[in-house]
Each structure stands twice: as structure tokens, then as C-alpha cells.
Amino acid sequence: MGSYKMCIFFTRKFDFNEAQPPPDVMEAFEKFSEGESHMTAEQLHRFMVEFQGDADTTTNDAKRIIHKVIDKRHAVTKIARHNFKLEDFYYYLFSDNLNPPIHDQVRQNMNFPLSHYFIYTGHNSYLTGNQLSSDCSDVPIIKALKRGVRVIELDIWPNSSKDDVHVLHGRTLTTPVSLIKCFHSIKEHAFSTSPYPVVITLEDHLTPDLQAKVAEMATETFGDMLYFPQAECLLEFPSPEELKYRIILSTKPPKEYLESKTWMNRGNDPQGGKDSDEEPWGKEAVDPTAEFETDDKDDEDADDDDDYNSRQSGAPQYKRLIALHAGKPKGRLKEALTVESGGVTRLSLSEQELVKATVSLGPTLVRFTQKNFLRIYPKGTRFNSSNYNPLIGWMHGAQMVAFNMQGYGKSLWLMHGMFRANGGCGYVKKPDHMMVEECDLKVISPVKKTLKVRVYMGDGWHVDFKKTHFDSYSPPDFYTKVRIAGVEADYAKVKTKVVKDDWVPVWDEEFEFPLTVPEMALLYIEVREHDKHEKDDFGGQTCLPVSELRTGVRTVPLFDREGEKYETVRLLMRFQFV
């Protein structure tokens, strides 16, 4: 008797039952097929317009969907049919390539100045792993560009013989990669995903002769792709539309090196100082009202005074190629953010400096970013390439919230979610309230709309995971966490019940989220497998921009911890705005 029970116990892990369509789906089929057993293309089109809210679809779109589904589901039997049965209709609704949760086209006006957009931004884009000892390579740069990242950061240093330029994280054990190799990879892959401009922020630790070499490399590699203005400085930056397929260089103009006291007074080891874009390991953030000197680099480079004149020769050409000047303000942060220099500049703050600055300078930060650029970077103690909350930067207008793209975790998932918006082109228009003169961040807006989210069911784990991944002896116990990330007033988190022992869990639960700033809201979804004795197992995640959600019943594909899409794991959900 005991052995019989044990046999049953072990075979439970192989149990798998296909779930039936949710009641909402069956009711919709009944309604729009007008009680018939088949749904025509005209009826499917009416469902798409009236139930799903896809007002811009046509009957031909419905016909194409029917054709794809019939071909896919009945490829072997070669059934020739031009309408849907219920199971075909359900298959269509639960296919992420036919019925995705968000729009996949550029939908925003791309004709505003570049400063009006949040930009998908990488930090130390050449690192393959941690900040201290990982390899430097063009591979993570290529991967980032293919994902849609539009700002690539390169730390450039002299090589050991000081006759060429390497990319590496200075004063660490990271192994270098040549700058020219990075440039070639950027040229090849810059526009493989998005046509909009790529900004290369240079963390420059070079002597003027090597700066001249960088200018030569950039000119020869990028040619006409390289954008640089004819004027000394821009009063307003061109739009993403005007800058399609262009490469933009951003760093401090060399004049600032040549005129600075630190240039003249330091020793001749160009790697001897610290990056001002990188805090010393363990240093606390400075007070935003204290004396302030920031942006991407201290004046690392130095030779003896006798070499000063001979080393200027490369500066003019190099300076001419810098389209977005990274300023080097002196004094207090408030003055740095309010003094009008006449031209567009870029400033950088660490995540800690930003948090402190938001306490008293929040509106000032927003006003600064209406014309100029603000870049936020991870604090120096993030040795493991972890990240921080990107929403703080975005809510204060920072266009370039720089992330370690290899630093997997919830913060990076939020970053992925934000830039799934606008067709994944790497540019997302700021909300209108950030572009008005008197932007008061402390005023809580009234609720603009309420998002209703219904979590019907999930499927695909039995394909993408081993049968024993979640539990050695029984099917998994799944539940779904649903959160809103955005302004403080909109933050919310809920979760479904746990469905025990089922590879295809059916929850059929609905939640409501009142939203005061829906333009900034991100819908974060994560599936977990409940475990009584250990930490709940990860079962997939995604993050979606609320502004891009397609209403109606939609398939939501899930991604692994590194942000790679699972082959089959997905949820069936419904989104409504009321």
C-alpha cells in the first residue's frame, strides 16, 4: 500500500492539463460570432475594434490573422478555412506575436529638441561584468545597441606605450579593448534596432595628441554619420527626427583641460587621478549646497609646463567634433543649474547627489533639463554592477539615467520597461508637465485615469523549464505579483492567490490602479512559485509602460532575470482604462 502511494506521489510531477479559455473569452466569441460556431473575418474585425479598442485595424488585418492561425494550427492536416472556431480564437488571443500587450511602433512626436526626451543610457558600456575585474569588450556594446540603448559610455585612456587609445575602467583590473574596435562595432550596430541618434559619452583621460588621434578615428570611422554643429555652441539641440542615423560625441571640450590649474599642476601620469564621474570606492555623496565640481572627468592628463604649448595641436579638431558639451561648473550646485551659459550643456550627478539635490532643488533640476541634459550614474560602491531606482532621475527630468546593462535585477527591469515605449526606439517623450516653466513636483495631481488589470492565466513553464525546476515531486504553485512603479502617489502592489499543483495556473483576478501621472507609470509583473520552506522561485517577469498598453485581452510574454524573452512562458491578461 505504501509503495503504491509513493508511485502516485512521484508521477504527479508529470501531470499536465490544458486550461480552457477564460469565461470572458468564451463570452466574447459567443457575442461576436452571433451565436454561431464560427467567427468570420468581419466578425473578428468588429471584436478587434469594439472589444479590443483597435480602432485603426481593418477587415484585411482580421483576414491575415485568421490565415496565420489556420496555417499554424492546421499545417499538417492542411485545413482550408477562412473563419475561427473557439479554439482558433483562443489561440490567437494567447499568441504574443499576434496579440501583444503594447504597441510596437514609434507613436510619439519626434520633432522636439533632444532634451525633451528620456534617452536609453548605458554606464561603462564596455564592461562584461563587475566594475573591478571583468573584461572590457565591444560585445556588451553591441548587445546594448541591439536592445535599443542610445547612449554608450566609453572610458578612454592612453595605452601602456602612450601611442594609442584603450577603453577600460581606470585604476581597476579590467582588461582593455581598443577604442577603434568599439567605434567600428558602434558604426555597424548603431541603427540595427532604432534609426534615432546614438550619443557616445567619452570619459576622457587623454593627452591632446591622443585627443587628436580620437578625432581622426571618429572622422574616418563614422564619416558623414558624425554630427557636429557649425556654431561654437548650440542654443537648442536638434530633434531626434533631424538627427536620424547620426552619431553624437559628448565630453568636456579640451579647452577646459588646457586652461585648468589641475592640468598644469599634476604629475604626468594620465591615470593618476580619479574620474569625477566615478566616486572613490565608498565615498559618500556630497551636499548639493556645498562647493560643486562635477561631470565626466577631472583633469587627469598632465605633462610638465614646458610641454604645454606643443600638446595643444590636437585640441581644435577634437573640440570641433564634440556636439554636446559636458560642462565643468565651479561653485554650488544650485548656481550650476541656474546660470545661463547660452549654450546647451550636459551635467552629471551620482545617484546619491541626485537624491540629496531633489530635497531642495527639485524644480530647479526640472527647469535645467528643459534645455540642458542631466546624466545620472551609479554610485562608486556598486562593484557588482548593480543599479538604482531610475524613476527618481526621470521624475526630475534627467534624460540620461545611466545603467549597468549587465546589472540584472528589478531596477534594470524597470529600465527595460520604460524603453519598451515608443516602439522601443530608445527615446521617450517627457510628460508635458515637465516642460512648463513652473513645474511643482510637490503638488499631487488628481487621478487622471484608473487602470483595471485582470490576470486570467499563465502557460508555457512546462516547455521552458525542467519538470523538476520548481518542485521535485509535484507541479508548481504559481502566483502573480502586479505592481505600479511611478510617482509616489501611484505606487501600488498586489498579488493573486496561489494556484497549487498546476503547470497552467488560472487565477482570473482583477485589480484597479488609480493613476495621477499615467505617463510615468510602469506596470511591473512577476510570477513566483510559492515555497513553504525556502525563498519563492522566480518564474518570469516583465515591465510595461502604462501609456503604451493596448486595451482588451492581451498576451503578456515573460522574460528571464537577464531580460531575455522565454520561448513560451506567457500570461493572458486584460487591460481597461476607466
By annotation, the residues acting in catalysis are: 123, 169
Q: Are 95 and 567 in contact (CB under 8 A)?
A: no
Compute the distance between CA of residue 569 and CA of residue 116 in angstroms, rounded to an integer: 36
Q: Are 401 and 123 in contact (CB under 8 A)?
A: no
Compute the distance between CA of residue 326 and CA of residue 276 in angstroms, rounded to an integer: 12
Look up cell 528571464; give the residue: 560
Phi, psi for 226 (deg, rounded to 5) = -75, 125
Compute the distance between CA of residue 126 and CA of residue 368 in angstroms, rounded to an integer: 29
Exposed/middle/buried for 371, CB within 10 Å: 0-12, 13-18, 19+?
A: middle
Q: Are 214 and 318 in contact (CB under 8 A)?
A: yes
Choose among 130, 132, 141: nearest CA to 186: 141
Q: How far is CA 514 from CA 237, 323, 423, 450, in A?
A: 36, 42, 25, 4
Look up cell 467567427; give the residue: 39
Compute the distance between CA of residue 339 and CA of residue 508 in angstroms, rounded to an integer: 55
Compute the distance between CA of residue 205 and CA of residue 155 in angstroms, rounded to an integer: 8
Say how many CA atoms lie within 13 Å of 322 toward its Cβ: 29
> Under DSSP, is residue 508 helix (H, G, I), strand (E, B) or coil?
strand
Q: Are 217 and 223 in contact (CB under 8 A)?
A: no
Compute the distance between CA of residue 527 and CA of residue 525 in angstroms, rounded to an integer: 7
Report which residue type is found at 325.
Answer: H
Q: Are 309 and 209 in contact (CB under 8 A)?
A: no
Q: Which three cell numbers stand for residue 347?
A: 551635467
Residue 236: alpha-carbon gap to chain centroid? 25
Compute the distance between CA of residue 251 and CA of residue 153 in angstroms, rounded to an integer: 10
Apex 97 CA angle, 561 and 556, nearest 5: 45
Strands, E assignment, 259-408: 322-326, 345-350, 373-377, 400-403
